Amino acid sequence: MSLSACGLSYGYPERQIGREIGLELKPGEVLALLGPNGSGKTTLLKTLLGLLPPQGGELALDGAPLAALSVAERARALGYVPQAHAGTFAFSVFTVVLMGRTAHGGLFAAPSAHDRAIAMAMLERLGVARLAQRPYTQISGGERQLVLIARALAQEPRYIILDEPTASLDFGNQGKVMVEITRLAAEGLGILFTTHDPNQALRYADHVLMIRNGQAIAAGSAAELLIPERLAELYGVAIETVRDTEGRVAFLPGH
Amino acid sequence: MPPSSLRGNLIAFGLLALAVLLAFGLGRFPVGPGELGRLIWAGLTGQASGLPPQVETVIWNIRGPRVIAALLCGAALAVAGTAFQGLFRNPLVSPDILGASSGAALGAVIGIYFSLGIIGIQFAAFAGGLVAVGAVYAIGSGLRRGDPVLVLVLTGVVVGSLLGAGIGLVKYWADPYNQLPAMTFWLLGSLAGTAKPDLVPLLGPVLLGSAVLVALRWRMNAMSLPEEEARALGLSTGPLRVAIVAAATLVTAASVAAAGIIGWVGLVVPHLARFLVGPDFGRLVPTAAILGGGYLLIIDTLARTVGPVETPLGILTAVIGTPFFIWLLASARGGWS
């Protein structure tokens, strides 16, 4: 049981973005994807979700090639949490989460009572059930991110892939969202997220994949890989390390 | 809390019933609700209504077909507009964004130019709308750049302006005494003179296209998300987009063929329906259909009762639509509810 890539190359028809990527995401694990701006993280996520066809190598979900699955089958296995955006229409939060049930109903089917119950349960699981009838356009960025995670959970997936889940959030909401994400891993989901903050990866991830210019420069356990030398190589700046008396570390970019 | 859909739909049905009563009742032969009821009862049971034969003729052969045509065209344009606003993730979109109306208009003026007769002109308009949207879709899909939805809209705008030039050219060539007034009248939209046989070519495409859009309405919520999100939620966005565009084009081309160009209905009615039942497409699409039928019927009743001669529908919808939309732009904050 895993979402795995081996020798994966990816990109767009006219332009290759990355190559020779290997990764394995197992249920219950948290994998952080680190890399500078423009390193190809988002394109890799799209490829892992099956939204872009791989250009080479192997990409498998629980042993079967991802490309062999239908769009709906993929959506029932892989939940996607995009960066939070306001959206065009003022759907209620509940309606937004209900959209996570799309892959479980027929083409013409209205959401069933079961679908509604699951959507509500996922809002409760993330502690935002009180927002259910609020317009999605009028809640805060942190609340939107939690609602989008609830929507991904409503897909009842085995893995959840998050694109910079804390990118536009304030300090408090960053912590809140990351705590929820690790709780989901403890409940048995495989979690993959991208981040610009190595401290977040160090604190919340089991494994780390570092990519630069579309190539993996390191992959392995978070504690082993997240050291100043590696980060300096990845981001091309000097890294300062801060330690507390218990030996825990945090990184600061630049000097 | 979004507005209760029961209350919203009751209001929509109430407006529809009022529109039908006014449309049958007003005119040179006023007909009261009681008389109308007796007529319909007589029609259902086959008994004599006991009303003057002129009144029966007015109801069954003159106002009746026109009322049905207005209901069908209004509902069709409103449903197509609702679907397109979701599909193109833009509340300012109307059903003619991909060139359905301008294609149909070009078809119609060509039909008038070649003096094809009413059936020929209607067919040319219907075919023109389908061909125009087909061409836009083929070109848009061929240009594989970035967001497919944005490419489609831009292609529609460009092709639409070319079609506009074509309409101008045919009008320039047209006989200014016979053909040009007919073209102008047609381009402004009217249901005057609609008779029973005119309903046949309207009914099939409108019912078929609307049925497809109503059936797909629950998927329209996720279709209104960015392309990749919709696919990650499990939607096959490509085939769904083709189905929605084809169905919306079918109903738009059929209604333009029957009534000429009637702008604004497909743009304004979805917003009115959102006021009543909220933005969830599952509830919005049926309500938009009810409201669209009633809206166009009221406009058409105004068109034939105010003023000594009939006012073109396109003029009235614009006069009502413009201030409404400016108010909408002024009051919309934080999303289109």
Residue-range domains of chain B with CATH: 5-331 (1.10.3470.10)
Mean pLDDT per 10-residue section of chain B, whose length is 337 residues: 74 95 89 86 81 85 94 96 93 89 94 90 92 93 80 91 95 93 90 89 94 96 94 95 94 92 92 92 96 97 90 93 85 56
Instruction: Indicate the residue type of A178.
Output: M
Residue B36 confidence (pLDDT): 86
Nearest to B335 among A82, A86, A102 (CB): A86
A103 to chain B: which residues are within 8 Å by CB?
233-234
Residue B332 confidence (pLDDT): 65
Asked if A156 reaches chain B (Cβ–Cβ under 8 Å), the answer is: no
Mind telling me how many Å the CA of B68 is from chain A's nearest CA?
28
Q: Is the dihedral of CA A69, A73, A76, A82 positive or negative?
A: positive
Residue of B nearest to A111 (CA): B218
Residue of A88, A115, A160, A163 to mutate for B, most B C-beta atoms under 10 A: A88
Residue of A nearest to B223 (CA): A99
Residue of A nearest to B211 (CA): A108
| Residue carrying structure tokens 């739909």 | B9
Distance of CA A30 to the CA centre of its chain: 9
Residue A145 confidence (pLDDT): 93
Residue of A nearest to B218 (CA): A110
Residue B2 confidence (pLDDT): 47
User: Looking at A42-56, A66-80, A164-178, which range is the least confident one?
Assistant: A164-178
Residue B1 confidence (pLDDT): 40
Residue of A46, A83, A102 to mutate for B, most B C-beta atoms under 10 A: A102
A15: which strand partners? A12
Cβ of A76 within 8 Å of Cβ of B234? The answer is yes
Global confidence as pTM:
0.91
Asked if A105 reaches chain B (Cβ–Cβ under 8 Å), the answer is: yes
Cβ of B232 within 8 Å of Cβ of A89? The answer is no
Q: Which residues lie closer than 8 Å to A8 by C-beta, 6 or more apart? A: A18, A19, A20, A21, A22, A47, A54, A56, A57, A58, A59
Mind telling me how many Å the CA of A53 is from chain B's nearest CA?
13
Cβ of A108 within 8 Å of Cβ of B218? The answer is yes
Per-residue pLDDT, averaged over A229-244, amounts to 91
Asked if B231 reaches chain A (Cβ–Cβ under 8 Å), the answer is: yes
**Within B174-280, where are the H helices?**
179-188, 196-215, 217-223, 227-232, 237-259, 265-277
Mind telling me how many Å the CA of A244 is from chain B's nearest CA?
42
Per-residue pLDDT, averaged over A25-39, amounts to 94
Q: Quick check: ipTM above 0.95?
A: no
Vertex A153, ends A152 and A157: CA angle to 5°?
A: 90
B236: buried, middle or exposed (CB in 10 Å: 19+, 13-18, 0-12)? Answer: middle
Mean pLDDT of chain A: 93
Residue B4 confidence (pLDDT): 66
A209: which strand partners? A33, A219
Asked if A196 reaches chain B (Cβ–Cβ under 8 Å), the answer is: no
B226 to chain A: which residues are within 8 Å by CB?
82, 85
| Phi, psi (rounded to 5 degrees) for B12 | -60, -45
Instruction: State the maximum Cα–Cα separation within chain B, in Å, rounded to a whole number.
Output: 68
- As a dihedral over the C-alpha atoms of residue A3, residue A5, residue A9, residue A14, rounded to 10 degrees, the angle is -10
Nearest to B90 among A88, A135, A136 (CB): A88
No. of H helices and E strands in chain B? 15, 0
3-state secondary structure B69-92: HHHHHHHHHHHHHHHHHHHCCCCC
Instruction: List the one residue out of B235, B150, B145, B139 whose CA is nearest residue A12.
Output: B145
Residue of B nearest to A136 (CA): B335
Q: What homologous superfamily is domain A3-253 in, according to CATH? A: P-loop containing nucleotide triphosphate hydrolases (3.40.50.300)
Q: Could you count the other beta carbons within 10 Å of the beta carbon of residue A153? A: 24
Residue B334 confidence (pLDDT): 46
Cβ of A133 within 8 Å of Cβ of B91? The answer is no
Asked if A69 reaches chain B (Cβ–Cβ under 8 Å), the answer is: no
Asked if B171 reaches chain A (Cβ–Cβ under 8 Å), the answer is: no
At A47-68, the pLDDT tens digits run: 999 999 999 999 999 989 999 9
* A/B interface, count of CB pairs below 8 Å: 99
Per-residue pLDDT, averaged over A155-170, amounts to 93
Residue of A nearest to B89 (CA): A88
Nearest to B219 among A86, A100, A107 (CB): A107
Q: Where are the domains of chain A?
A: 3-253
Cβ of A87 within 8 Å of Cβ of B279? The answer is no
Residue of B4, B89, B229, B274 to mutate for A, most A C-beta atoms under 10 A: B229
Asked if B282 reaches chain A (Cβ–Cβ under 8 Å), the answer is: yes
A60: which strand partners? A4, A65
Asked if B86 reaches chain A (Cβ–Cβ under 8 Å), the answer is: yes
| Residue carrying structure tokens 């059930």 | A129
